[in-house]
Structure 1
């Protein structure tokens, strides 16, 4: 009897029972240890309409909310405009800044070949222009007339904009499809007033060639003489415009 009890105790000890240490069970991962990634938000026509509405209304908070909910930054409206182009054409600076900060493409062009960069340059929207330049604007891009942003900026006498574009490296002697350079347009479409004198001075200082002829074979100096722009005539003559 005693021998049988000893044998039973020995068997229990070997199996990890009784006074021995119990064998640990293998650990099974629990579902709370696994973090599932949240699905990316999906853009919908309703979200895109909300984004366009906020962009045109200069509602920066509305822009950010629509983007966070998944509205596509590069959605297009009936005119081929992205929300950013729509904001810039509405002169909605705060909304444009919010879109640019969110990663909107500053070089995307609409059906009229206007981009945020090109339109801001043409219209003298300097704050937006600077934002596009700091986010990869293509300074050599061209509009539907085959012109750079510098050409319409010079045509309109946007002196501060001309300064920004020249510093950014926009080609000063680019010729557009109608045959105009920035210098020629500043003379042909300008009125010889102080802001156009400033514009012509900046262009010449940046190395603009005053001897380039327009499509009719006239130089900037000849055009200035024909228009009685005496101060600009003096500048061009001094720069070798003849």
Structure 2
């Protein structure tokens, strides 16, 4: 993409616009013009958080290389890293790892990235994130782990079955119960998720 070399009148705004639309060249131009790499939009999102939200990996690569903060919280208590659990982007996960994101920062529900990823059926993401140091047995404010969310909020289909397999292979504690004392196995049985129940009984 060809980008004008003329310096933007408002470098911070230009940086955020470029990150939002995925224009890595314009991001570089804005930064050379003096943009604050941690500038925020009206929702307190940084350029890196915008790149993560819209899966603009090339933009993220530029920003991470220049020292952007992977732990910058926005107004919804999201960070670039936390957003990857929602989008399920393995490419963005890989782009952010060199920035050494804090894997213990919790989202507004008190959860870590594997929890929404497991809920949403992001198989490839879960397969990759279990290889990091993130706490796979973390319990969010609802009282649910990634395993519990995969069962309670999943559909019992192939993707959620595979996520349960991955989590179990990674050594998660299948005995952790929700706030009512109900385990993932009991939830699977009550929902008629026979394949998942079989995995949890092994």
* Counterpart residue number, 1:60: 24
1:210 matched to 2:178? The reply is no
Structure exhibiting the larger radius of gyration computed from Cα positions = 1
1:127 matched to 2:86? The reply is no
How far did residue 131 of structure 1 move? 1.3
* Counterpart residue number, 2:51: 87
How far did residue 133 of structure 1 move? 1.2
Match of 1:111 among 58, 71, 75: 75
Q: Deviation per CA, 1:94-133, whole angstroms, max 9, x where unpaired?
A: 2222222221111111011111111012211111111111
* Counterpart residue number, 1:178: 142
How far did residue 182 of structure 1 move? 0.4
Deviating above 4 A after TM superposition, structure 1's stretches of 4 or more consecutive aligned residues are: none
Match of 1:144 among 85, 90, 108: 108
* Counterpart residue number, 1:229: 193
Q: Equivalents in 1 of 2:53, 2:113: separation in Å?
A: 15
* Counterpart residue number, 2:5: none
Q: Equivalents in 2 of 1:110, 1:121: separation in Å?
A: 16
How far did residue 45 of structure 1 move? 7.8
Preserved contact between residue 40 and residue 46 of structure 2 (Cα < 8 Å): yes
Preserved contact between residue 85 and residue 117 of structure 2 (Cα < 8 Å): yes
How far did residue 173 of structure 1 move? 0.7
Q: Deviation per CA, 1:29-54, whole angstroms, max 9, x where unpaired?
A: xxxxxxxxxxxxxxx98111110111
Q: Deviation per CA, 1:45-82, whole angstroms, max 9, x where unpaired?
A: 81111101110110000001111111000011111111
Structure 2 gap segments, 5+ residues each: 1-7
SS of 1:167's equivalent in the other structure is coil
Tell me the TM-score normalised to structure 2 length: 0.92
Q: Equivalents in 1 of 2:105, 2:95: separation in Å?
A: 16
Q: Equivalents in 1 of 2:126, 2:188: separation in Å?
A: 20
* Structural mapping, 1:9-28, within 5 Å: none
Match of 1:49 among 13, 18, 29: 13
Taking only aligned residues, the RMSD between alpha carbons, in angstroms, comes to: 1.4
